[in-house]
C-alpha cells in the first residue's frame, strides 16, 4: 500500500490529478482552503474518479452531519477520535468491494 498526503482539499485535488493509481481517499471534513464537501463535489465531477471510494473523517458527530456528508458524495463516514479497528474495517470494506 502506498499512501499520499495532502495538506488541504485544493492540494488533494492537485495530487489526485497527478496520481492515477489512487484506490481510496480518507478525507477530513474540516480542511483549510477547500472543505470536504467542495473537494468531494470536484472529485465526483471528474469522470475517472466518479466511483472512487471517499471516506470522510471528522470530529463532527452532530445529528445530520453523517447524512450531509454522504449526500455530498462521500461513501462512508468515520468520527474522531478514530478507533483503529473501525478504520481498518472500513478501508477493507471499500477496497474489497
Nearest-angstrom CA–CA distance, 70 and 73: 5
Is the CB of residue 33 less than 8 Å from the CB of residue 10? yes
- In the chain, what are the domain boundaries? 9-95
Q: pTM for this one?
A: 0.90
CATH topology of domain 9-95: Rossmann fold (3.40.50)
Is the CB of residue 35 less than 8 Å from the CB of residue 9? yes
pLDDT digits (tens, 9 = 90+) for 6-35: 998 899 999 998 988 899 999 988 788 888
Nearest-angstrom CA–CA distance, 89 and 86: 5
What pLDDT does residue 37 have? 85
What nine digits make up the cell of 33?
482552503
pLDDT digits (tens, 9 = 90+) for 31-60: 888 888 899 999 999 999 999 999 999 887
Nearest-angstrom CA–CA distance, 80 and 82: 5
How are beta strands 54-58 and 25-28 bridged, if at all? parallel
- In sequence order, the 6+-apart residues with CB closer than 8 A to the CB of 86 are 78
Amino acid at each position: 500500500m502506498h499512501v499520499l498526503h495532502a495538506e488541504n482539499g485544493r492540494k488533494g485535488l492537485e495530487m489526485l490529478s497527478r496520481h492515477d493509481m489512487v484506490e481510496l481517499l480518507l478525507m477530513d471534513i474540516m480542511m483549510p482552503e477547500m472543505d470536504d464537501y467542495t473537494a468531494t463535489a470536484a472529485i465526483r465531477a471528474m469522470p475517472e474518479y466518479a466511483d472512487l471510494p471517499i471516506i470522510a473523517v471528522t470530529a463532527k458527530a452532530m445529528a445530520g452531519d453523517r447524512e450531509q456528508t454522504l449526500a455530498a458524495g462521500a461513501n462512508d463516514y468515520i468520527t474522531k477520535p478514530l478507533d483503529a479497528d473501525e478504520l481498518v474495517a472500513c478501508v477493507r470494506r471499500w477496497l474489497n468491494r
